Amino acid sequence: MWTDYHSKFHQNLKNRLLLPKNTKILIAVSGGQDSLSLAKLSLDLQEKWSWNLAIAHFDHSWALDEGLGSHVEKIAKNWGIEFYLVKATEKILETEADARKYRYEGLMDIATKYQFNYLITGHTLSDRAETFIYNLIRGAGMEGLSALNWTRKLTDNLTLVRPLLNFTRGDTLAFCQKLQLPIWEDKYNDNKKFARNRIRLDLIPYLKKEFNPQIEQHLTQTVEILRADVEFLTQEAEKLLNLAISEDKNSLKRSILKEKPLSLQRRVIKAFLAQNLKTMPNFEQIEQIVRLIDAPNRSRTSSLNQGMFAQVEGDLIRINCL
C-alpha cells in the first residue's frame, strides 16, 4: 500500500540526499510507532533504492521491557529482514542519559561489526521540538538548541541519519494505524520522572492549547535556522582559531581576536579551552577568557580546572598551572 507518507519519505530522501542507493542500512527499532513507521517505510522503498536493510534492537534489560526484544524480532522475521538483538552487558540506570549512551554504543558496535554505512533512527519533528525546549530549559547554546540534525557522522564509515524529522508523532501514529502495525506501548513513556516525558505529556499540549497549535512546527523551523547559523559560525571560528593559536596550543593572540564579533570570540575560546582542559568549558570559564582580550598585562582568571588558569602575557592569553 502506497500512502502520502511514502511519498513524503521518498521526497525527503531525494531532496536531502540522505540515503544513497546500493548502501547497507541498519534501522534502529524500539518497537514504538516512530521506529516502526521508519522500518516499514524503508522496507517499502527498498526496491526503489536498492538498499541492503537490517533491523537492530537494543535491550536495556529493564523490567517493563520484558518481551520487547522478541516482539521486534518477530516483526523483522515477518517482514523478511535480518535482525540483530543487542543486550545490555551491565546494569543500566533508568535514566534518559544512560539509556541513550548505552543504546547508541550497542547499535554502533553492530553497525561497525557488520559494515553498515548508515544507522537510521525514527526521531520526528515532535522529538526535535521537545529537544529544543529541553535544552532551552537547561541553558544550552545554539548547538544544543539546534540538536537532532538530519545527519551526523559517527565514524569515518558510519553516518547517523534521521529521515523522519518532518513527520510529527501524529503522522507516525496514523501511518501505523493505517497499515495495522503492531506498536509496542512503552510504559516508560508515561513515567513523568523523566523530564522529556513531562515536556511531551504536559508542557507541549499546554503550549498548543494556550499559545500556538503549531508550536512543534514553528520550533523546528527555528532549529533549522539555528543549524545553518551554527554551521557557518563553526567554520569561521575554526579559521580564526588557526590564526590565533600558538604552535604549542596553549596560548591565543589577543590582537587576532580583539576586533572580532563577540560570538566568534566565544567560539574560538571554547575550542581553545576544550584543547587545554580535561573537561568541556562552561559559560563562566569562557567569559573569563573573553574579558582578558582587552585586559591589562598580567591580568588573570581564577582557577579554570585543577589548578590551571589563564593569564595575559603581552599579546598572548596563556594557559598556566599553579
- Rounded CA-CA distance 45/307 in Å is 57
User: Please, are residues 71 and 182 in contact by the beta-carbon 8 Å criterion?
Assistant: yes
193 grid coordinates: 520522572
Instruction: Identify the structural domains of the chain with CATH numbers, from first to last.
Output: 4-219 (3.40.50.620), 245-321 (1.20.59.20)
- Reported as type and span, the H/E element at residue 321 is strand 316-321
Dihedral pair phi/psi, residue 318, rounded to 5°: -115, 140
- pLDDT at res. 101: 87
Neighbours of 310 (CB within 10 A): 26
Q: Are strands 251-253 and 316-321 parallel, antiparallel or unpaired?
A: antiparallel
**24: β partners:** 52
User: Please, are residues 94 and 62 in contact by the beta-carbon 8 Å criterion?
Assistant: yes
Q: Name residues of the chain where pLDDT drops below 50.
A: none
- Reported as type and span, the H/E element at residue 205 is helix 204-210
Angle between helices 169-179 and 33-44 in degrees, nearest 10: 60
Q: What is the 3-state secondary structure (H, E, C) of 121-179?
A: CCCCHHHHHHHHHHHHHCCCCHHHHCCCCCEEEEECCEEEECCCCCCCHHHHHHHHHHH
User: Please, are residues 5 and 40 in contact by the beta-carbon 8 Å criterion?
Assistant: no
- Among 128, 305, 295, residue whose Cα is nearest residue 224: 128
* Amino acid identity, position 66: E
- pLDDT at res. 203: 97
Residue that is written with C-alpha cell 532551552 in the block: 136
- pLDDT at res. 57: 95
Q: What is the 3-state secondary structure (H, E, C) of 258-298?
A: CCCCHHHHHHHHHHHHHHHCCCCCCHHHHHHHHHHCCCCCC
Total residue length of the chain: 322
- pLDDT at res. 192: 87
- Reported as type and span, the H/E element at residue 48 is helix 46-49
Residue that is written with C-alpha cell 587545554 in the block: 276
- Rounded CA-CA distance 234/236 in Å is 5
- pLDDT at res. 46: 96
Q: Residues with Cβ < 8 Å from 202, sequence gap 6 or more?
A: 192
pTM of the model: 0.86
- Rounded CA-CA distance 81/39 in Å is 10
- pLDDT at res. 102: 86
pLDDT in tens, 202-226: 999 999 999 999 999 999 999 999 9
